[in-house]
Amino acid sequence: MEQSIRTLIVDDELYSRDELKHLLEAFPEIEIVGEAESGESAILKALQLQPDVVFLDVEMPKLNGMNAAKAFMELKKPPLVVFATAYPQFAVEAFRYETVDYLLKPYDEELLRETINRIIKIIETAKELDTGKPAGKLAIEADGEIFYIEPKEIQYIYRDEKWTKVITKTGEFETKTPLKDLETRLLNYGFFRIHKGFLVNLEYVTKLTPWFNGAYQLQIEGRKEMLSVSRNYVKALRTRLEI
């Protein structure tokens, strides 16, 4: 990247901030512009420093990481969010806030590198869109061939055991590319995670139907099958869909 990634570290424990700072300093793309020890301070520093990404702890006194992430989404220039925490049980809720990744302590350096690469891709794609440069097509490798698909033609994507299936208006593609990787590449094209194993193109959503225990079923334009929407994603989905 030509420009560094402005990074804010948020954790109420000094040792944890220092550890993450030390690990991030190994990546030349990262520029650490500030630290915060609470959710309230994180919001204030995000306004002042305009970071590209925030590494955010979950469990903090008063305003926790989830509420801080929700506040970031309301900013004129919301930063990308990577949750960095010792608590795995909040992972599903975290992705309601368009989280880039969810890292667990103690940090795995290889997973951290994957996260940095994902951030770079998101930022570079956003820059291409801002400058009007054609972002190209989604490359899907399947059956020894590479297919190039217009993102707008994709209706939904889901994980089926070892395969990721890409459903378009005209057919299906099967690839071993992880769903999470496709989600990152399609972040700026109106796709939304409705379930652990499903991404949908919001342009094709025509109906939401209550199901049970707070979950919903979703109807895709021109298709008979109904897709399950986890109750953890319903509120965020409705926010994205409704004017």
Stretches where the chain sits below pLDDT 70 are 1-2, 128-135, 243
Q: Domains in the chain and their CATH numbers?
A: 5-130 (3.40.50.2300), 138-241 (2.40.50.1020)
Coil, helix or strand for 214? coil
pLDDT of residue 183: 87
pLDDT tens, position by position, 54-80:
999 999 988 899 999 989 988 888 899
Q: Quick one: tokens of 51? A: 């970071």
pLDDT tens, position by position, 19-67:
999 999 999 999 999 999 999 999 999 999 999 999 999 999 888 999 9
pLDDT of residue 142: 73
Residue 189 parent element (H or E):
none
Report pTM.
0.59
How far is residue 186's CA from residue 49's CA, in Å, rounded to a whole number?
27
